[in-house]
Amino acid sequence: MDSWVEQYQQEAAARLDQAQGVKADLARVSGSASSARGEVSITVGPGGNLVDIEFNDKVAHVAPAELAKLVLRTAQQAHHNAGQAMLDVMRPMVGEGAAMDYLKSQLPPEPTEEEPNSFRPRQTRDDRGSQDPDQDEGFQGFRR
């Protein structure tokens, strides 16, 4: 009987170690995503809280409404990716089955595919070249 108790204690200690490792891993779970053309990169940490957001130089040519959509979709993708990382941490502990199915049901859905850019990029004065600012494209000989 003593060997049974010892075996049970060893198994319980091993499960406790595993649970503590999972807890530590969950505290470090994060998810990152970038927009398709790389204008926006976002990282979220445990619980989906925003940890980092980066914009590259391409955002100067993105209309504000389009940029807002890119930020939102990229944040949603980063949050989804963090959820997937959480599942990877939990899988060895809970295995496949009802518990894992429940965890999967709690994840944010993967965002829909990005729609093609329906906004024309903003044109800055530098993009227009050395044109006279008083002249419209296509009407070079006419003054306003």
Return the residue matching tokens 């130089």.
57
Average pLDDT, stretch 69-97?
Answer: 87
For the entire predicted model, the pTM comes to: 0.63
Q: In this predicted structure, what is the pLDDT of residue 42?
A: 95
Average pLDDT, stretch 37-60?
Answer: 89
Q: Could you give the CA distance from residue 105 to residue 83 in angstroms, rounded to a whole number?
A: 11
Q: In this predicted structure, what is the pLDDT of residue 141?
A: 45
List Cα–Cα distances, 48 to 30, 59, 81, in angstroms: 8, 24, 10
Using CB atoms within 10 Å of the CB of residue 87, give its burial: 0 to 12 exposed, 13 to 18 middle, 19+ buried. middle
Domain 27-109 class? alpha beta
pLDDT in tens, 109-128: 788 765 544 444 444 445 54
Q: In this predicted structure, what is the pLDDT of residue 43?
A: 94
